[in-house]
Structure 1
Amino acid sequence: MEWKLFADLAELAGDRTVTVAADPGDTVGAALDALLEDRPDLRDRVLEDGELADHINLLRNGQNVIHQNGLATELEADDELALFPPVSGGSRIADR
Structure 2
Amino acid sequence: MTTEWKLFADLAEHAGDRHVTVDASSGDTVEDALEQLLEGRPDLEDRVLEDGALRSQINVLRNGTNVLVEEEGLETELDDGDELALFPPVSGG
Asked whether the two chains share a fold, i.e. TM above 0.5, the reply is yes
Distance, in Å, in 2 between the alignment partners of 1:86 and 1:51 is 16
Of stretches 32-41 and 55-64 in structure 1, the one that deviates more from structure 2 is 32-41
| Aligned residue number for residue 93 of structure 1 | none
Equivalence map 1:1-96=2 (5 Å): 1-66=3-68, 67-89=70-92
Distance, in Å, in 2 between the alignment partners of 1:20 and 1:40 is 16
RMSD: 1.4
| Aligned residue number for residue 92 of structure 1 | none
Distance, in Å, in 2 between the alignment partners of 1:38 and 1:22 is 17
- Which structure: greater helix fraction? 1
Structure 2 gap ranges (5+): none
Distance, in Å, in 2 between the alignment partners of 1:52 and 1:62 is 19
Structure 1 gap ranges (5+): 90-96
- Which structure: greater strand fraction? 2
Q: Which stretches of structure 1, 4 residues or more, deviate above 4 A after TM superposition?
A: none
